[in-house]
Amino acid sequence: MNTAIYSISGGLLIGLSAILAYTLFGKITGISGISFQAISKIKQFSITDKWPWVFLTGLVLGGFLTHQLLHIPTPELPSSPLWLVIISGSLVGIGSQIGSGCTSGHGICGIGRLSKRSITATLIFMLTGVIASETINFLGIL
């Protein structure tokens, strides 16, 4: 199979899982929101609502099993310095909190619900990504 088929199949499965989670359980499958819920349960010493942990475990195991069963090569790790990865990840986390969600929450679930806030946020995510990518390419950084 080629990359396009994997990408289309993955997109369809992500969309289907988002529809099912929202329809059956009333849960929005934004990864940052789910991650923050899981972390907050640890801080409260109350893990009575286990669904965020089940979801995150399935997310990791699903990717691992897909690579193993379909013999898809694992992408190479970036050669970026660790400090840059930590700063970048922290900025993404802060941004998703400020923006009330991440690209998966706004882009997949929010747009699917025709949320004006999510459509605006996704347009800003995409525009910012294009500008940052083109700036990095232009300057020859990384």
In the predicted structure, residue 140 carries a pLDDT above the cut 90: no
Q: What is the pLDDT of residue 119?
A: 92
Average pLDDT for 122-138: 89
Percentage of the chain modeled with pLDDT above 70 = 94
Which range of residues forms the domain containing residue 52?
3-139
DSSP assignment of 24-65: HH-----HHHHHHHHHHHHHTT-----HHHHHHHHHHHHHHH
pLDDT at 101 over 70: yes
Compute, in degrees rounded to 10, the torsion defined by CA atoms 127, 133, 136, 138: -80
What b/e string do you get for 51-65 counting C-beta neighbours within 10 Å, with b at 16 or more?
A: ebeebeeeeeeeeee
Give the total number of structural domains in the chain: 1
Q: Would you say 67 and 74 are in contact if contact means Cβ atoms under 8 Å apart?
A: yes
pLDDT of amino acid 79: 83
pLDDT digits (tens, 9 = 90+) for 35-88: 888 887 776 666 567 888 888 898 899 888 888 888 877 778 778 888 988 898
Mean pLDDT, rounded, for 22-27: 86
Question: Band of the pLDDT at 7, cuts 50, 70, 90?
Answer: confident
pLDDT confidence band for 135 (50 / 70 / 90): very high
What is the arithmetic mean of pLDDT over 121-127?
Answer: 89
Helix axes 51-70, 31-43, angle to 10 degrees: 130
């941004």: which residue's tokens? 95
Show the 3-state SS of 7-23.
HHHHHHHHHHHHHHHHH
3-state SS track over 100-124: CCCHHHHHHHHHHCCCHHHHHHHHH
| pTM for this model (two decimals) | 0.69
